[in-house]
Structure 1
Amino acid sequence: MTRRIMIIGGGQSGLAAARTARDAGWDPVVLEAGTRPVGSWPDYYDSLTLFSPAAYSGFPGYNFPGHPDRYPARDEVAAFLNGYAAWLGVDIQTETRVIDVSPTGPGFAVHTDDGRVLSGDAVVAASGSFGHPVRPRFPGRDKFTGEVLTVAEYRSPERFADQRVVVVGAGNSAIQVGYELAGVARVSLAVRSPVQLVPQVRAGRDMHYWFKTLRLDLLPPAALARLFKGTLVFDTGTYRAALDSGRFDQRPVFTEFTETGVRWADGTTEPVDTVIFATGYRPSLPYLAELGALDPTGLPLHRRGLSLTHPRLAYLGLEFQRSFSSNTLRGVHRDAGYVINVLSSRVATTALTDTTRK
């Protein structure tokens, strides 16, 4: 009998799960809240480009189109995923938001916002984190009269022209957005530790070539942390030149908001128009709250993407789930192969046990 696996989320992680499950003999059903199976890519800021070349951004058997050394833009990624979804030929149900997952026998009942209840022998939660950006708490936030937003809400620089803007964060999004805004506004990056810029190209090869060749992509997060301190930001030289020239600067993160701005770490205050938090995301898994699969802060209880509370529940697309590249286009299929293989084994073991008992 064909086993059915319910995959929640139709972005890169959900599609990777569907591909791997299909090839392993499952009947995958992908439930995507959006209108297309492209995840959150259309909702990112307009100028976003990948920091991995096209050659390292494709899927097994389905290459990213165009010159392999170019860095694809946001809309190209969405188009790539949409094409991949059609190529897969599996059941993908868009405009279907999952609101709850409950146990039923050894499997699960998946409840959708249109009142349906779908059953599956296993579930993969691959709904990403874009809907749950981190919003750090600072004293004085309530009295600040300027604008506060997250990078998830940022689209383009035009409306920030001539403003004083502080971007909080030291990762790729913070650098990209800060650099772009510096063309129309006065910008500072507020960081807990200095931005760690890494040359995009070494010895004529993109860093992703070296990550693959040296197998750094496969290192567990703890081992990688020992090699690199802080968040790596790949740079062609543009960001370094901009920081060195004063196009925008970086300084220790402010300690509090004032009514009209921020108080910096050295005690000085400054008027600020807008603060943008580019401080990462947390997994968006509200539909698992009643299942008991999350810790008190809403994070999944898992090891390497496998639930610690329910043996037939797995996750994909978590940051550093198994390696540095776990939640990237180039790495998610490796994680998908791992969790689907374990789920297949667990379901087969249960079926064998049931047969033996009969």
Structure 2
Amino acid sequence: MIEGYRELDPNKTYLITGGAGFIGFFLSKKLLEQGCRVVGIDNMNDYYDVNLKYSRLKQLEGYDHYTFIQGDISDKDTVTNVFEEYKPNIVMNLAAQAGVRYSIENPDSYIQSNIIGFYNILEACRHNPVDHLVYASSSSVYGANTKVPFSTDDQVDNPVSLYAATKKSNELMAHTYSQLYGIPCTGLRFFTVYGPMGRPDMAYFGFTQKIFKGETINVFNFGDCYRDFTYIDDIVESVARILCNPPAKRVDKDSILNGIQYAVYNIGNNQPEQLMDYIAALEKALSNAVGREIVAEKEFLPMQPGDVKATYSDSSPLERDFDFKPSTSIEEGLQKFADWYVEYYGVK
């Protein structure tokens, strides 16, 4: 555990961008349950079913200390006004255009949200000093790396998608602003997040939709893929422990980086699962949820552009500094997802 570790402080104001998103919703809920003041901002775009975003927000409406703003972080005036009005102490930037494959089809939205939007957040933190800026990076920054497990000490100079390139850019931008303007920054490289109320563009969610429609699911790289699937509760617990604990100042009087407060962590399960095993666990979870046998029809296809064969997180620095290690098994996590899905969509 880091020296001087601090629990969540209910006297602080937490700004969560992407507040109606998957991680943003569950993180907001956890903070609100701890009595914290939370301001959420989200543009409510239709990249996936917007009704799911409204369902998440509906669960947050009952909390007294929650404020939601519909707005886009790529609009600088919107971001500036939010910072000036609510004066956040801690910022969690989760707003981004997600998805590896979609970045090949629609690159403009990635530059707008992930680059310009993040720049606006950095500028706002520069002119309205905060205790800590935490932001979502991604395991995709490891790109074509073959050394496993992926460590934050590894070089990440070989992105294989524009999405990955924007996330690497975020890390460089945050490092620069931290060094130049004294903004305490922590980047979080999330590894394949899943769970109830998740993103329909993610494989496990899309598989489930197709299975219940009687459609064939596409299994890329002929099933020879490995992912470090990380359950949403483990992600949120990790983030919650980090929020009130900015990095210690670097001490190196001979370096221009002396005094910088900057860190990057992997947040992953540290246990990659073979895609076919994951599909089998999903079939079992869905079978349990509906009380009948579920078997997916599969079509095996080559690797898609922008995809990588394997992700594998070295999360030991997270465990060392925050005494927490993501550990939810895919069987437990997928069962919770399957039970939610069947109830939410009324599957018989």
Q: TM-score, normalised by structure 1?
A: 0.34
Larger radius of gyration: 1
Give 1 or 2: higher helix fraction.
Answer: 2
- Higher relative CO (CA 8 A, sep ≥ 6), structure 1 or 2? 1
Whichever structure has more strand as a proportion of its residues is 1
